Chain A
Amino acid sequence: MTQQAVTKPRVGLFVTCLVDLFRPVVGFAAVKLIEDAGCTVDIPMAQTCCGQPAYNSGDRKDTRAIAQNTIEAFEEFDYIVAPSGSCAGMLKKHYPGLFKGDLTWEPRVAAFSAKVHELVSFLADVRGVQDIDARLDGTVTYHDSCSGLRELGIRAQPRALLGQVDGLTLRELPDADVCCGFGGTFCVKYSDISNAIVSEKTSKIEASGADLLLAGDLGCLMNMAGKLKRQGSAVETRHVAEVLAGMTDQPPIGGRG
């Protein structure tokens, strides 16, 4: 028994800043799911944010400093897992570019980034999870967040895992692959355009007939939930990990009704 515990892969959970600040239940759901998938989970205290706000605002110097902190905090683990396609994409696809030509950091970042996974794809692809132990009686629809979809190829995995949830009916969202208009600071810098894009999205969500909207990225979820609630929609919103972990006691994102 002890022997088995020792050989379990060690996962460092990158909680993500939005989960830490706004939706801790997603972090606890991630811990449960990763442990259920036969891994041990560590949560380094020295983590903050992946650095995207700086990176996408053109501030490379601060981005590098944040990235170095993150790498130092996580490089000891077998896997680094984040409950967000956008943050995982940053760690996996964008960190290496920050250290091009830096002989000290280039090999470190390469080793680090190779071990980074988004939560749902980690469960489905790396751990081959087939036995999600959760129940949700309702009709859900799923939005494919852009970074997860296009940078990491996450599309089939959440659908496969949701298919294992008892009582759950998945209704496909038309244009599920189209951006929700969040885009980080874009949504406040160009709020009029962002509003037009998210309005298009919420009309599709309403038309899907689902009573619960799921996605894998809290930024997108807060954007869509915020718009749905402003429009007085009854559709509720949750992170996909909450449903997969069977942790849906918390009120949905932005509340009910």
Chain B
Amino acid sequence: MQITSPEFKANSRAALADPQLQKALGNVRSGFIEKRLKAVADLPEFERLRDSAKAIKDHVLSNLDLYLEAYEGRVLEAGGKVHWCGTAEDARQAILAICRGVNAKVVTKGKSMITEEIALNEFFEKNGITPVETDLGEYIIQLRGEHPSHIIAPAVHLNKDQVEEDFRRVHDHLAPGRDLTEPEALLNEARRVLRSRYFEADVGITGANFLVAETGSSIIVTNEGNGDLTQILPKIHIVVASIEKVVPTLDDAAQILRVLARSATGQDMSVYTTVSTGPRRPGDPDGPEEYHVILLDNGRSAMLGTEFQDMLRCIRCGACMNHCPVYHAVGGHAYGWVYPGPMGAVLTPSLIGVDKGGHLPNASTFCGRCESVCPMKIPLPKMMRHWREREFERGLNPAVGRYGLKAWAFFAKRPRLYRFAAAMGIPALKVFSFGKERFSWLPLAGGWTKYRELPAPEGRTFMQQLRERDAVMKQAAP
């Protein structure tokens, strides 16, 4: 997918001027937050679960090689195969080879952000394979030729009437006069259309919320059951997962599941939690003939041992973006690549480079709401600041800002000089206000005054007033 993160500012201006998008974003601002709050309030041990979930992932990240190898061993024992892929291209080629092996024409897909990361759909189309997204949200945006704007609610940037329009346009074999006003009707229509595609598919691809080292299982959570049909009906099931998804045991996965859905949608559990272990065994009523795991690194192992390691705890619940004022304002597409919101602001520079993703960790007020709701307690603002440090060290941030900052720091490091400059500048600024309490415009303050008045200073600085007051008191003393 095309990276537009360097155009974040232009993207965000377009997003702010898009009335449909702004209307849709209203749902993010209220719905997710209230539901999560209620789910958390209903579970007294939620805070302790967060701690234990974090501890599990920290332990895994300290022993990642061990658990990945153990996991591979169990997958092999269950009759599956693991493909270790260093890069997105490795992953695409491995998937293509499997698909070519059965001469696949149609591939069904459950929801998977990793397949977005490796731009699998575009790659399939170039190679004559038709990918069919089966998650309702993913299906809708595939019809529109878009990408997800949210990691768990891919079509959250759309309103129902837009979806109705798309369905009428694409499903042109259905009666034009049909009633699609209720969301339920849209859902049922998508179900009916998708049902036949499940049987046409030669390969089904899903992501993974967890890979379990103890059993060699992959686990997905869905609310629509589409993941189950995607992985059971075709001959081949391919799991596409990144390396940090591994957990030691099923118990560990169960622990983290208790915080996952609550943080994401406010559900106690997602509707479906599906555990898959290897291909169909003798006596199994259904299941694929082959079971493959694409294990993707794509820059993650390089994050281990750095200040960005904590990011690998992320379980992709989306709580950070659901609570982010910047995401609320501009939505997910403005971020310009696969992962939006605070988690994207940290992960994107790791995966595509800070030279391309540099805006994202800067476009944060550091309000800290993301960290406060992150079930894995990832210090997101702190890591965004680390990216700003990397940028600063490499001189990647704009020159005007750098020089301005350096000039300011020169004074801030020298208290006497600072006091002197303030004592000169502030009263002068006050004079320039011509007795008014605020400025509507001020040279060099356009970034501020474009949208707001700048309150005028009181007059003399606190330090000036203090010295004068102390002088008066000393004179008054006997």
Residues of A whose CB lies within 8 Å of any CB of B are 15, 17, 19-25, 27-28, 43, 45-49, 51, 53-60, 62, 65-66, 69, 73, 146-147, 150-151, 177-179, 181-198, 200, 222-223, 225-227, 229-230, 250-256
Contact = CB atoms under 8 A, between A and B. Distances in A.
B438 to A, nearest CB: 5
B365 A186 contact: yes
A198 B452 contact: yes
A185 B401 contact: yes
B341 to A, nearest CB: 13
B413 A60 contact: no
B16 A254 contact: no
A187 B390 CA distance: 22
Interface stretch (B100-108, B292-300, B418-426): B418-426
20 contacts: A28-B465, A48-B412, A48-B413, A59-B409, A146-B367, A179-B367, A179-B369, A188-B448, A189-B447, A190-B12, A190-B363, A191-B447, A192-B13, A195-B452, A196-B330, A200-B329, A223-B452, A226-B452, A229-B453, A254-B455
B328 to A, nearest CB: 8
A222 B329 CA distance: 21
B388 A66 contact: no
A51 to B, nearest CB: 7
Contact of A66 (B325, B371, B390, B409): B409
B365 A191 contact: no
A69 B447 CA distance: 30
B200 interface: no
B451 A195 contact: yes
Contact of B466 (A25, A43, A185, A250): A43
Given A58-B397, A189-B401, A198-B452, A255 B437 contact: yes
Nearest to A27: B462
A20 B458 contact: no
Interface string B325-348: 110111000000000000000000
Contact of B457 (A22, A66, A198): A22
Contacts of A146: 365-369
Contacts of A69: 413, 415
A246 B292 CA distance: 71
Given A21-B457, A255-B436, A191 B412 contact: no
A58 to B, nearest CB: 3
Contacts of B405: 53-54, 57, 59, 62
A177 B397 CA distance: 31
B392 A254 contact: no
Given A45-B419, A53-B408, A24 B465 contact: yes
Contacts of A226: 438, 448, 452-455
B27 interface: no
B460 interface: yes
Interface in B427-447: 436-438, 440, 445, 447
Nearest to B396: A58
Given A27-B462, A192-B13, A186 B364 contact: yes
What DSSP secondary structure best describes chain B's contact surface?
helix
B455 A225 contact: yes
Residue among A46, A55, A56 facing the most chain B CB atoms (10 A cut-off) = A56
Interface in B348-366: 362-366
Interface string B1-32: 00000000100110010000000000000000
B316 interface: no
A22 B389 CA distance: 29
B453 A62 contact: no
A225 B465 CA distance: 24
* Most A CB within 10 A of own CB, among B391, B436, B452: B452
Contacts of B167: none
| Max chain B Cβ within 10 angstroms of own Cβ: one of A45, A55, A188 | A188
Contact of B455 (A27, A151, A193, A222): A222
B391 A58 contact: yes
Contacts of A179: 325, 365, 367, 369
Contacts of B9: 190, 192
Q: Nearest 6 pairs between A and B by C-beta?
A: A255-B437, A183-B365, A188-B447, A226-B452, A58-B392, A58-B388
A48 B166 CA distance: 58
Contact of B458 (A17, A22, A57, A58): A22
B12 A193 contact: yes
A65 B413 contact: yes
Contacts of B453: 225-227, 229-230, 254
Nearest to B324: A179
B368 A24 contact: no
B419 A58 contact: no
Given A192-B16, A200-B325, A229-B452, 14 more contacts: A22-B456, A45-B419, A54-B412, A57-B401, A58-B388, A62-B405, A65-B413, A146-B366, A147-B368, A150-B372, A227-B452, A254-B437, A254-B453, A255-B437
B428 to A, nearest CB: 12
B83 interface: no
A178 B16 CA distance: 19
Given A255-B437, A256-B437, A183 B460 contact: no
Interface in B299-314: none
Given A54-B412, A56-B388, A178-B369, A230 B452 contact: yes
Contact of B463 (A20, A54, A230, A250): A20
B59 interface: no
Interface in B362-396: 362-369, 371-372, 385, 387-393
A51 B367 CA distance: 17
A229 B453 CA distance: 6
B278 to A, nearest CB: 45
A146 B364 CA distance: 12
A82 to B, nearest CB: 13
A196 B329 contact: yes
B411 interface: yes
Contact of B366 (A49, A183, A225): A183
A177 B369 CA distance: 9
B462 A230 contact: no
B463 to A, nearest CB: 6
Nearest to A21: B426
A191 B16 CA distance: 12
Nearest to A65: B413
Given A66-B413, A183-B366, A255-B437, A58 B426 contact: no
